[in-house]
Amino acid sequence: MKWHRKIVLLISAGILPVIALHAQDLHFSQFFNAPLLVDPANTGFIPDGDYRIGGSYRNQWSSILQAPYKTMSLFGDAKLLKNKLDNGWIGLGAVIISDVAGTGNLRTTETYFSLAYHQLLGDASLLTAGFNLGWDSKHIDQSKLTFPDQFNGTFFDVTVPTSAVLITNNVSYFDMQVGVNYAYFPDNNTYINGGISLQHVNQPKETFFSTGSDSRIPIRYIAFASTILKTGKNIIISPAAYYTTQAKSDELVGGLNLNYDLSGGGEKQLILGVYDRLGDAIIPVAGFQLNNIRFTFSYDVTTSALSNFNNLQGASELNILQKGSYPNAGNGEHEVLCPKF
């Protein structure tokens, strides 16, 4: 029975990008390192800096697929007008995502520009609202696709006509997300943050087949919460949780990172962490921070039934993040709202 199940799995993985195109958006296990993808209100929401740039690379299912899923992302955001507005500032940012999935080379490119407004509420809290506007495009190589009705019990016979008919190789559409965010920082050792966002609020149409009533992308809802706690002279812990639901699919991830100061002033930090994607994977994290540049690597250790086929090998993920402050800004521009070494 196992080999039958494996064949079904491989067939499903091969055609999934086409027949269930909008079942799940692109995502990263290190959600805490992809702030603009989680919530556009995170744009310019940088408690320990004025600007940041980051990049992520994810390789998924390379142990069971001939063409594994590969996702890359680049983003940047910054605070603007902090000294011009009354206890507030503007956040401006952009993110580019590129993904290649399956043997049909489903290529996805997404570009978003985001804007947020941040308002201090007294001395210990911050409220933010933001949105982003973007353009998504997808391309599929039909010549590399095979379908279930071409499987003869032993192999896929591409000479057999299929009932699946694609009317185009390319689709593109305008997309929009909105979100809110709140932070509470009662003292120098405590920082609490949470927010919610809605993605695809305009529910754009997305299909390679003839337009139907089910071709609109359903709204995706995201909620997250995180805390930064300085628990000792050389230790900062950062518990975090992330939940998302779209159509009939959902995902819950929770865990924490620990930063250990190796230099006495925070210039060199060791990062260790572990997260659990409920019912799917355990995600250990390891990294290193040198001055304002942080490197983190994570690996999805599969815990679902898929582990019978991929030998626990889910996805590897690498993130690089750099933060900075404006030179000679003055007037509190370099104020740090979260715990630091």
Tell me whether residue 339 is in a domain: no
H/E run at residue 206? none
The overall average pLDDT reported for the chain is 85
Per-residue pLDDT at 257 exceeds 80? yes
Tokens found for residue 15: 């055609």
Tell me whether residue 87 is in a domain: yes
Q: What is the dihedral of CA 57, 236, 332, 130, to 10 degrees?
A: 50
d(CA 254, CA 3): 34
Strand partners, 253: 242, 277
Tell me whether residue 332 is in a domain: no
Tell me whether residue 167 is in a domain: yes
- Judge whether 27 and 82 are in contact, CB under 8 Å: no
Mind listing the pLDDT tens digit for each residue in 63-89? Answer: 656 667 889 999 999 999 988 888 899
DSSP characters over 24-87: S----S-GGG-HHHH-GGGTT--TT-SEEEEEEEEEE-TTT-SS-EEEEEEEEEEEE-TTTSTT
Tell me whether residue 88 is in a domain: yes
- Minimum mean pLDDT range among 10-19, 91-100, 281-290: 10-19
In this structure, what CATH number is given to the domain that contains residue 18? 2.40.160.40
Mind listing the pLDDT tens digit for each residue in 269-295? Answer: 999 999 999 988 999 999 999 999 999
Tell me whether residue 316 is in a domain: yes
How many domains, in total, are found in the chain?
A: 1
Is 212 buried (19+), middle (13-18) or exposed (0-12) by CB count in 10 A? exposed
Q: Give every CB contact of residue 272 below 8 A, 6+ residues apart in sequence.
A: 257, 258, 260, 285, 286, 287
User: What is the pLDDT at residue 328?
Assistant: 67
User: What is the pLDDT at residue 336?
Assistant: 75
- Judge whether 16 and 102 are in contact, CB under 8 Å: yes
d(CA 244, CA 250): 6
1 falls in which pLDDT band (50, 70, 90)? very low
Task: Give me the residue label for tokens 């898929």.
Answer: 306
Tell me whether residue 331 is in a domain: no
Strand partners, 279: none
Task: Indicate the pairing of strand 106-120 with strand 88-101.
Answer: antiparallel
- DSSP annotation of 334 reads T
Mind listing the pLDDT tens digit for each residue in 310-337? Answer: 666 678 999 999 999 988 655 444 567 8
Taking residue 121's Cβ as centre, other Cβ atoms within 10 Å add up to: 13
- DSSP annotation of 100 reads E
> Could you list the residue range(s) of the whole structural domain that residue 246 is in?
2-324
Residue 292 has φ and ψ, to the nearest 5°, of -100, 10
Q: Which of 257, 299, 255, 307 is nearest to 280 (CA)?
A: 307
Tell me whether residue 221 is in a domain: yes
Positive or negative: CA dihedral 330, 192, 298, 280:
negative
Per-residue pLDDT at 256 exceeds 70? yes
d(CA 195, CA 173): 26
Read off the pTM.
Answer: 0.85
